[in-house]
Structure formats: C-alpha cells, structure tokens
Amino acid sequence: MTWLAAVPVFFVAPLLRARTAGVVAFAGWALGLTNLARYLLEDLELPVVALGFLVALAAVFALTVLFFRALVVRRHPVVAAFAAPALWAVLDYLIATFSPHGAFTSLAYTQAGVAPVNQVVSLTGPWGLSFLLLLPAAVIAARRLVLVGMLVLVAAGTCLYGVARLGHTAEAQPVKIAVLSAEGADDARWPDAGGPAILERYRPLIVNAAEAGAHIVLLPEKMIDVRTTELPKLSRQLQTLATSNNIELVAGLTVLGDGDHNRALIFHPDASTPTSYDKHHLIPGLEPYTPGDHLATYDDWGLLICKDLDFPPLARQYGKLGTGLLLVPALDFVDDGWLHSRMAILRGIENGIPIARDGSKGRLTLTDANGRVIAETTAPADAPATLIGELRPGIDRTVYTAWGDWFAWLCGLVALAGVVLLSRRGGRGSIRHGQLRGLPVADLPAGDVAGDDAGDHHGPGATGVAGSREAAGRGDGVHRAERGQRHDRPREPGGVRPVAPGTADASRQHGP
C-alpha cells in the first residue's frame, strides 16, 4: 500500500493551483504522521516543540510534490517522473545525515519485511527504497505510457535481483544464540537498589540457556545502573556467570561517574578482558551520557546498542571491517518494538551481516545476512522472555558497504537536472490551460512566467484551446486583462484599441 499511497496527491497536483497542491500534499503527509505525536510526547517524553519535526517532514513531501508539478506544467513529464522521487530520496538522505534521530523516519522501513524488494538496499542503501516508493506515483501522474513500461522494468529488475540474492546462503558453521529479557526497572542500581534483584532474575534464564546449548547469551541495554567504583564487583559476578556456564555473555549497563556511559560488555568464558563498547547515538533529552567514539569487535563479532542501528553509516563501518555478526543490546518503548527491529533488519541487509537484537519491552530477533527473520518473539515489559536460535556468522559483502551512499548522490544529480530545467526561461514549452491530456489545469502560468506569449486562449481555432497553441507573435492582451492588468482607455467604447487602416487586424474592427 505504501507504493500507492502518494498516487492521489501526485495525480491531482498538476490540475490544481500551486498553492492548493502544496496545501493538499502538506495536509496529507501531516495527517499520516499524527500516529507519531503520542509516541514522541508520551513514550519518549519529548517537549511539544518536537512536533515541529513532523511539520518539517510534511513540508519535505509538499516540496517534492510541488517540484513534480512544476516540471509537469513546463512540459517535462519524463524528467518529473524521475526527478521528484530522486529529490525525495536525497532529502531522506540529508535528514538521516543531520537529524539526531538518523534515518528513523524513512519510508524504507515499510518494506523491511517485503522480500525480495528489500534486498535492493544492499546496492543503494535505504535511499533506493525511498526512491522506489515514490516512483509509481510520479510515473502514473506523469500520464505517459512509456513511463509505465519503464516502471514495470524497474520493479521486475528489483525483484529479480532480490530473488537471486536470497538464493545465496552462508556456509559458515551455525552458532546458537539465546536472547533474554526479564522484567526490569529504570532505577535498578547496583548494589544499593534494585540491581541485585535484576541480576537474580537473569541468573536462572542464563543457566537454562547454557543448558540448551547456547554459545552466546545476549542481555538487554541498561539492565543495571552502576557507578564506576562499583563496576569491578558487578563485572566479577557477570564474569562468573560467563565462565561457569561456558558462554559469551553480552550485557548492557549504565555506567555512572567519570563521564556517564551507556555501555555493552562481552564477558568471555576464558575470563579474558571483557570487550567494551559505548553507545554512539543517544536519545536527545533522555540519555545525558557521553557518546562513544570507537567500534568494538571480538573475533569477527561487533557490538552496537539500540539507537545506533538508526544510523546506516555506523553499521556500514562494521561491514567495512568484515564483521560477521552484530550483537545488539537494546531497550524499546513497547510501541516501537516492531519498527526498531525492522530498522535492524535493513542494516543487516545493507551490509550482509547477521544480527542478534535484544529489544527488551519490544522484540527479540535473530536475522540472517539477507534480513530473513530466523527467530522472533515479543518481550513484554512485565514478564520474562527467552528466544533461542541459530545464526551463521559471516559477511556477504555488498555494493553499499563498498560504495556507501552513491545512490543518494546520483539522486541529487537527477534532482539538480530538474532544477536546471525549471530555471530556464523556455519559449513555448509550457502546458496551457486544458492541455494536460484534455483535463483542466488551474493556475498555469501565462506570459513570461510560463515562457510563452500571453495569447487569447479563449479564441477559436489556432489561438484557442481547440488549437492548443496560439499563433506565433499574436498576443492581444486577454491574459493580462483577466489577470487585472488591462486598463480601458477613455473615449474608446469597451476599451477596444483603435487599429490603423491597412494593418493586419483592420478587417476585424466593427463600427461604433
């Protein structure tokens, strides 16, 4: 349905005045984003000013629609069909680059569960899906049959590529992974509050997972708050769990003091120094911690934490390192569990990396290098949950990992070509009233705004609508009269201009 959602707005945009088309597009997108208002204000507890971000997103869609409309009315429908989706994709890329929430709002995630379509991100990153999702609307609204044929080819090529990629399966030995979630508390401090109780809730789950054959046990983000001075004592208890159960134990902790950190640690069964990673991308207003500045790998595994997966470049860095498995402690807000788990799926497809994600209060997921869900369960906020499954570590190197955001830059060039066409003051290339496949087009520019002479489009034959074009060099000022630019002269009934005898228009004059 997302592929068709924008069709009505794009279809009517060239038939409306520019201002009306912009309002329709803005209102449609703003209404579509109202489901995020409660999430931002109540779940994330952000201030009301955060709703301005939704307004900005609606404005981006309105700008895209107006860009498409302008190209169509200037008789560039083929360019419009590709330049508008390209503009949308490049704006999506810019938002992801500069927003503190990364690519959180991208439409690409609507296709995270749609195989084989989602495999295109291994070539283009999420920007390829952003482009494809607006392409059908632009093609249909451009009203050119040849474009429909091109759309079919693009869709078929995308699906065939996806089918081919999904046919490849990693040959590495599988690793059994347990993803655990137990009822927690936001103020579970160690050792003077609820921290010890939280650890005791996880202890039997960890033992049971090890007995079930799990080699890696993944726990959530921020499960216990601990001060730097008390961290060695807590670490010893976690290390004992790893050693006694012969497992790699991944735990998410909030480390307070000496610069607070949202930290993930891998405790190894051989009691070697734990592998440590600090979260890079923190939730504005909710996580007043020091962001991390380095990646963390052990063997060919890598660590990320929750919101880090909202940012494509960070996961791509692990892809460039050849990381074969991402372990991700996370903590969702109940309502966003599905969305955040699907963001992780796209990051895995983009770089060809399997991902184990522990979204406590959301979803626990194991996904392979092609984004297929190997195992998944819901992690309720008030009850324990256990997910055990196997993943095959190993990277399926992708074009996106190697070339990065090349497709976003290509979209920028296509959009720029559309801007250049709009900036040219053309001669007679603009659509006149009623010429868009015989449908009325409101508020299309006349005179020098459209780049043609302001002829009488109400006149019969070659100078009117029936003739579609006015004769060259014949402008009698009717457009300007209708636009309030006509000034009747005194002593000339009806404001008709006197014509000298012998001129070309003399025969059309009537007596007083």
Question: Over its length of 512 residues, how does the chain's per-residue pLDDT go in tens digits?
Answer: 899 999 999 999 999 999 999 999 999 999 988 888 888 888 877 788 888 889 999 999 999 999 999 999 999 999 999 999 999 999 999 999 999 999 999 999 999 999 999 999 999 999 999 999 999 999 999 999 999 999 999 999 999 999 999 987 777 899 999 999 997 666 688 998 889 999 999 999 999 999 999 999 999 999 999 999 999 999 999 999 999 999 999 999 999 988 899 999 999 999 999 999 999 999 888 899 999 999 999 999 999 999 999 999 999 999 999 999 999 999 998 888 999 999 999 999 999 999 999 999 999 999 999 999 999 999 988 899 999 999 999 999 999 999 999 999 999 999 999 999 999 865 444 554 444 544 444 444 444 333 333 333 444 444 333 334 333 444 444 444 344 444 444 444 444 444 444 444 444 444 43
What are φ and ψ of residue 469, in 5° steps?
-140, 150
- H/E stretch holding 255: strand 248-256
Alpha carbon distance 253, 264 (integer Å): 6
Q: Which of 184, 183, 356, 189 is nearest to 260 (CA)?
A: 189
Residue 116 pLDDT: 92
The pair of structure tokens assigned to 417 is 């070509």
The pLDDT of residue 436: 54
DSSP per residue, 335-348: TTHHHHHHHHHHHH
Print the domain residue range for 142.
Answer: 2-168+404-423
- 381 and 249 in one domain? yes
124 in the same domain as 46: yes
Q: Are residues 26 and 115 in the same domain?
A: yes
Residues 148 and 196 both lie in one domain: no
Domain count, the chain: 2
Encoding tokens for residue 254?
Answer: 């909030």
CA distance 350 to 19: 39
The CA distance from 117 to 307, in Å, is 24
**Which of 356, 375, 395 is at the close of a domain?**
395
Residue 394: C-alpha distances to residues 30, 301, 303, 312, 318 (Å): 42, 9, 15, 19, 12
| Domain membership flag for residue 59 | yes
Asked, for residue 185, whether it belongs to a domain, the answer is: yes
For residues 438 and 453, give the distance between their C-alpha atoms in angstroms, rounded to a whole number.
21
Collapsed DSSP state (helix, strand, coil) of residue 29: helix
- Concatenating the DSSP letter of every residue in 107-164 gives GGGGGTT-TTGGGGHHHHTHHHHHHHHHHHHHHHHHT-HHHHHHHHHHHHHHHHHHHH
- Give SS3 for 446: coil
Is residue 356 one of the residues assigned to a domain? yes
Specify whether 6 is located in the same domain as 143: yes
- Report pLDDT for 48: 86
Residue 171: the pLDDT is: 78
Please tell me the predicted confidence (pLDDT) of residue 186: 60
Q: Based on the fold, state whether residues 50 and 136 are members of the same structural domain.
A: yes
How far is the CA of 512 from the CAs of 478, 491, 505, 509, in angstroms?
Answer: 21, 11, 16, 9
pLDDT value at position 170?
73
Kindly state whether residue 137 falls inside one of the protein's structural domains. Answer: yes
pTM: 0.82
Residue 125 in domain: yes
The CA R_g of the chain, rounded to the nearest whole Å, is 30
φ, ψ dihedrals at 109, nearest 5°: -70, -15
How many Cβ atoms are within 10 Å of 149's Cβ, its own excluded?
11
Q: Which pLDDT does position 497 carry in this prediction?
A: 47
162 and 13 co-located in one domain: yes
User: In this structure, is residue 329 part of a structural domain?
Assistant: yes
* Residue 233 and residue 109 in one domain: no
120 and 198 in a single domain? The answer is: no
Q: What is the pLDDT of residue 284?
A: 85
**Rounded CA gap, 386 and 384, in Å?**
7
17 within domain boundaries: yes
Q: Are 434 and 154 in contact (CB under 8 A)?
A: no
Strand partners, 359: 330
Per DSSP, helices labelled H in 212-336 are: 231-244, 312-320
d(CA 141, CA 314): 37
Q: Is residue 256 situated within a structural domain?
A: yes
Q: Omega of the bond prior to 284 within 30 degrees of 0, cis? A: no
At residue 425, the pLDDT reads 65
The verdict on 414 and 309 lying in the same domain is no
Answer yes or no: do 201 and 299 share one domain. Answer: yes
Measured CA to CA, the distance from residue 190 to residue 170 in angstroms comes to 41
CA distance 175 to 470: 74
Strand-strand pairing, 224-227 and 248-256: parallel
Are residue 232 and residue 129 in the same domain, yes or no?
no
